[in-house]
């Protein structure tokens, strides 16, 4: 996949981040789950998207995108990735690339599960990150946590400033 394609999906994640209601105590993050079913040579399909605080409960972008993917019916899933039809969402998630504007969190001060853990549990293939999480609230080690679990982590060059500005909107 060309760099322009990765920038396109990261821009879609930035569009999601722009939907966040800013708050001084949290970042505004956007996330896109892109499926390449059944392999890397397949056309990419946006499986789900999410942004910070989109769903009730102080939720984060990656967790919201995963939650929305889990809400897809078998019919919805087959319409998104029609051939060959997937057996289940878990099979498709193993072919998913995550595009997120900010490094997935490894620590939650709210007590909720960190996004890095949710992505590892979902067994996603790769995580494309726009910018590392600043140490404004916690010392984030999400990228390393993903790598340690076998998820390929790729830092996308080209939109770092935009991702950081989006994250800190409202601070």
Q: Which long-range contacts (CB under 8 A, 24 or more apart) does 55-59 make?
A: 57/112, 58/26, 58/110, 58/112, 59/112
The answer to whether residues 6 and 29 touch, using CB atoms and an 8 Å cutoff, is: no
Q: Which of 64, 33, 65, 30 is nearest to 46 (CA)?
A: 33
Residue 48 has phi, psi (to 5 degrees) of -165, 165
Single out the catalytic residue among 16, 54, 62, 103: 62
- Dig out the tokens for 87 from the structure: 């057996």
In the Cβ-directed half-sphere of 143, how many Cα atoms lie within 13 Å? 17
Name 153's bridge partners: 127
Q: Is 75 helix (H, G, I), strand (E, B) or coil?
A: helix
Helices 3-17 + 61-70 axis angle, to 10: 100
54 is catalytic: no
Q: Which residues are catalytic?
A: 62
């Amino acid at each position: 996949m060309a760099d322009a394609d990765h920038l396109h999906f990261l821009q879609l994640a930035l569009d999601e981040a722009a939907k966040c209601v800013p708050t001084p105590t949290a970042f505004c993050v956007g996330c896109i789950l892109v499926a390449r079913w059944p392999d890397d040579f397949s056309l990419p399909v946006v499986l789900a998207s999410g942004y910070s605080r989109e769903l009730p409960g102080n939720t984060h972008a990656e967790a919201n995108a995963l939650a929305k993917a889990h809400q897809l019916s078998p019919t919805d899933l087959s319409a998104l990735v029609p051939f060959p039809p997937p057996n289940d969402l878990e099979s498709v998630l193993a072919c998913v690339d995550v595009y997120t504007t900010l490094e997935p969190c490894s620590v939650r001060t709210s007590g909720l599960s960190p996004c890095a853990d949710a992505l590892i549990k979902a067994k996603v293939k790769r995580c494309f990150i726009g910018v590392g999480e600043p140490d404004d609230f916690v010392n984030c080690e999400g990228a390393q946590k993903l790598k340690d679990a076998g998820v390929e982590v790729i830092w996308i060059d080209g939109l770092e400033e935009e991702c950081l500005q989006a994250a800190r909107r409202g601070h």
